[in-house]
Amino acid sequence: MFKKIITIIFVAIVLKNNLSSQIINKISTNYTNIYQFNKNKKPRNSSTAFWLSAIVPGAGQIYNGKFWKLPFIYGAGYYTFTHYQKNNTEYKMYFHDHLILDDTNSTEPLYMGINDKNILYQKMSEVDRKRSLFFLGIILVWTLNAVDAYVDAELSNFDVSDNLALNIHPKIDYLNNKPFAAICVKLYLK
């Protein structure tokens, strides 16, 4: 009985080592193939990526091959644009009511149903502020989209070879003749 258990354990260890070496070889082969693919990838022109995204949002990301970023760009753009339109429509309705309340001879109905000029002006100012913020949001999304395409194209030219090394070590530095502890981080080629 004892010999059977030792034989089973021995066979399990041999099979485990053989199986794990096959898995490691497969993983290293796949990693080498991926590395060679990235190494042979054509570098992207950053100014082309920037201008493509500046003209058509997401076009620079398509040029860089980063399709997964498109839903985020168009989602943020859709959110800011629809909220801008909603607040712009509401502002126009408040402004219409404001003009009607100023004109005493008008018989047109009020859209918002507010008869007090002060409250109407407050609401109109609040909606105008929201409208302006969402307009700035549209500009921000568009700008970040173009900057992201530019940075991504610049980083496509970055060397990710095995010759890169990272050195991190503690350091004592001086500021106004007073010592303080710091961490020094260096990235360099071997």
The contacts of residue 138 (CB under 8 Å, 6+ apart) are: 77, 80, 81, 84
Q: Is residue 15 part of a domain?
A: no
Q: Is residue 126 part of a domain?
A: yes
Flag whether pLDDT at 1 surpasses 70.
no
pLDDT of residue 180: 82
Q: Is residue 68 part of a domain?
A: yes
- Tens-digit pLDDT profile for residues 20-77: 455 555 555 554 554 444 555 677 889 999 999 999 999 999 999 999 999 999 999 9
Tokens coding 90: 């509401």
Flag whether pLDDT at 10 surpasses 70.
no
Distance separating alpha carbons of residues 50 and 44, to the nearest angstrom: 11
Binning pLDDT at 50, 70 and 90, where does residue 5 land?
low
Distance separating alpha carbons of residues 46 and 151, to the nearest angstrom: 7
Structural domain count, the chain: 1
The contacts of residue 44 (CB under 8 Å, 6+ apart) are: 63, 64, 152, 153, 156, 157
Q: Is residue 168 part of a domain?
A: no
Q: Is residue 48 part of a domain?
A: yes
Give the structural domain span for 152: 44-158
- Tens-digit pLDDT profile for residues 139-188: 999 999 999 999 999 988 776 667 777 788 888 888 888 888 888 888 77
Measured at the CA of 48, the angle between CA 46 and CA 51, to 5 degrees, comes to: 110
Q: Is residue 12 part of a domain?
A: no
Q: Is residue 22 part of a domain?
A: no
- The whole-model pTM stands at 0.61
